[in-house]
Chain A
Amino acid sequence: MHNKIKMQAKDVDFFYGKNQALKNVNLDVYANRVTAMIGPSGCGKSTFIRLFNRMNELVPHTALCGKIFLDDLEINNPSVDPVDIRRRVGMVFQKPNPFPKSIFENISYGLKVNGIKDKAFIGQKVEDSLKRAVIWGEVKDRLHDSALKLSGGQQQRLCIARCLAVETEVILFDEPCASLDPISTAKIEELILELKKDYTIIIVTHNMQQAARVSDYTGFFLLGELVEFGKTQDMFTAPRNKKTEDYITGRFG
């Protein structure tokens, strides 16, 4: 009844120094589905999502116990190069973070670091990615302007396009709409629904309506524990856990 598992967290504990941020988390991410992580601030959901592309390694004094899988590959194995993982698992951040370069260079950067030199191919890929991220129409006449001149919503779609260009298999969204207005948010959500045809998507969000709108599966985190995980529809209509019910009905949070 479930389709293929794309990524998997097994018995994951995570520490910042002596603080335990995640406690024994087990979670399956299904291929071509949108999996949402919800929970109050500081519950560990952002920390969790950053394990899937080994981004937490940039933070000093952190430690991970347990295993994370991408297909059959155990990605947190020391013999695995995080660079290889990040080329398969892309990420879009909370605050749009285009590079201080032109719109074109923002997209071509990812291709260049992957060793692609063919200019015609890069040009085509830039166009395709921008179209895919539904921003092409807005930027096609100014590809060589600085990306920093774009609005927040446009910057975020540019960041998504940047991610699409490198053809990852999974895209992690870490509160992608937290700093955007409702119209930009709607555009991003539409985009996410469109992208799940080709990508596996994990999204962290503060916004429960957003989780309900875009996701197929939802995990509810509280104080570093995965309280409940299941189909979004089930969780929002008939939560199994009292705490989940309290949170999604807005009794605390």
Chain B
Amino acid sequence: MRKFKEFLIEKLIFICGLASIFFVILIFLFLTKEGLAVFKYVNPVDFLMGKSWYPISEPAQLGILPLIFGSLIVTLGAAIISIPIGIACAVYIAEVAPSKIKEVLKSGIELLAAIPSVVLGFIGMVTLVPWVKTVFHLPTGLTALSGSIILAFMAMPTIVSIAEDALYSVPKSYKEGAFALGATHWQTIYRVLLPAASSGIVAAVMLGIGRVIGETMAVMMITGNAAVIPQSILVPVRTLTATIAAEMGEAVVGSEHYFALFAIGIVLFIMSFIINVTADLFLHKRH
């Protein structure tokens, strides 16, 4: 009887473990099946490199280059903002902050991670967007920059907490060794701790960016959603994610528009897959 119980529980856990992989495969298969169908209407090069996205004109123009650029520019902007601040914050928490401030900051960061993206988008819309508009004298504040700033806030918690972990797990003996040689605190951080934690920090950055590239709600609310190849960071852009979210409801099932949206899904899937695998490689290098 006891053996049977063990057997049952073991198998149950096994099935649960298998289920997650099974679902990923299922999603991927479904995505491919629906997405690849678009290539009956448009060849892959035109799809990826086409400069116009007019899915409901006649004939439909299904070039997603503006959307790819939209995603990239928003992500790049968010990375430029969040990486230095995030790493600096992690260094402060791991190395400099007195233990009380450290606790407060850590819970603050966790709280930031818990804010739903729609709330961040909403706050961005009423505060950040008008600010960007007046500061840069723009016709509209719904720009890639606004999206980057809000997304930076979303990437920050991931970057800070994983980078802080990485710094914390650097052996104490490295720090002692550097201090014993007469290194100042900053010299120790800069030349010993950061290099020693570098693979974990890179992983933190990649995971942060992975979160940014997949984010939908906040960007849809504040980037203006113009499917045009952006010439600067101060113009409205539309990202891959926002396109799917905005248009899936109105696309006729089985139409080329519908298939195109799934194909965008594949592109996104591949992008975040690459980012996550890179992050994983760096994380495992650490151990």
| A residues adjacent to B (C-beta < 8 A) | 53, 55, 58, 60, 83-84, 86-87, 90-91, 93, 95, 97-101, 109-110, 112-114, 159, 162-163, 166
- Known contacts A110-B181, A113-B182; A97 and B176 CB within 8 A of each other: yes
Choose among B171, B180, B191 the residue that contacts A55 (Cβ–Cβ < 8 A).
Answer: B180
Taking the closest CB of chain A, its distance from the CB of B1, in whole angstroms, is 51
**Among B171, B179, B195, contact of A58 (Cβ-Cβ < 8 Å):** B179
Closest B residue to A86 using CB positions: B182
Q: CA–CA, A87 to B187, complex, Å?
A: 14
A99 touches B178 (CB 8 A): yes
Tell whether, in the assembled complex, residue A55 and residue B176 are in contact, meaning their CB atoms are under 8 Å apart: yes
Annotate B180-205 by CB proximity to A: 1 below 8 A, 0 otherwise.
Answer: 11111001000110011000000000
Known: A87-B181, A166-B182. 10 other contacts (CB 8 A): A55-B176, A60-B99, A83-B184, A84-B182, A86-B182, A93-B180, A99-B196, A109-B178, A113-B184, A113-B191
CA of A83 to CA of B175 in the docked complex: distance in angstroms? 13
Which chain B residues (240-258) contact chain A, with CB distance < 8 Å? none
Other-chain residue from A55, A84, A97 in contact with B174 (beta carbon distance below 8 A)? A97
Contacts of A95 in B (CB 8 A): 173
Contact (A112, B173) CB under 8 Å given A91-B180, A162-B181:
no
Rounded to whole angstroms, the CA-CA distance of A60 and B187 in the bound complex is 21
Instruction: Report the minimal beta-carbon distance from A248 to chain B, rounded to whole angstroms.
Output: 30
Residues of B within 8 A of A163 (CB): 180-181
Whether B108 is near chain A, meaning CB under 8 Å from some CB there, is: no
| Residues of A contacting B181 in the complex (Cβ-Cβ under 8 angstroms) | 86-87, 90, 109-110, 113, 162-163, 166
Max chain A Cβ within 10 angstroms of own Cβ: one of B99, B182, B195: B182
**From residue A133, how far is it (CB to closest CB) to chain B in Å?**
14
Contacts of B196 in A (CB 8 A): 99-100
Interface residues on B, range: 10 to 19
CA distance A166 to B182 in the complex (A): 9
Which of B177, B187, B191 sits near A93, CB closer than 8 Å? B177
Bound state CA distance, A86 and B179, in angstroms?
A: 7
A142 to B97, CA, bound (A): 39
Residues of B within 8 Å of A55, CB to CB, are: 176, 179-180
Among residues of A, the one whose C-beta sits closest to the C-beta of B171 is A97
The answer to whether B195 and A159 have CB atoms under 8 Å apart is no
* Shortest distance between the CB of B243 and any CB in chain A (Å): 45
Given contacts A97-B171, A99-B196, A100-B195, contact A113 B176 (CB under 8 A): no
Q: Which of A90, A97, A98 has the most CB of B within 10 A?
A: A97
| Closest Cβ–Cβ distance, residue A198 to chain B (whole Å) | 18
Contacts of A109 in B (CB 8 A): 178, 181, 183, 191-192
The 7 closest A-B pairs by CB, nearest first: A87-B182, A97-B173, A91-B180, A110-B181, A86-B182, A113-B183, A97-B177
* A93 touching B176, Cβ below 8 Å: yes
The answer for the CA separation of A163 and B187 in the assembled complex, in Å, is: 17
Closest to B186 in A: A113
Query: A95 — nearest CB in chain B belongs to which residue?
Result: B173
CB distance from A82 to the nearest CB of B (A): 8
Selected A-B contacts with CB under 8 Å, 12 pairs: A83-B182, A86-B182, A91-B176, A93-B176, A97-B171, A99-B178, A99-B192, A109-B181, A110-B182, A113-B178, A113-B184, A166-B181
- Which residues of A lie under 8 Å from residue B180 when comparing CB positions? 53, 55, 86, 90-91, 93, 163
Residue of B nearest to A96 (CB): B173
Residue pair A58, B174 in contact (C-beta under 8 Å): no
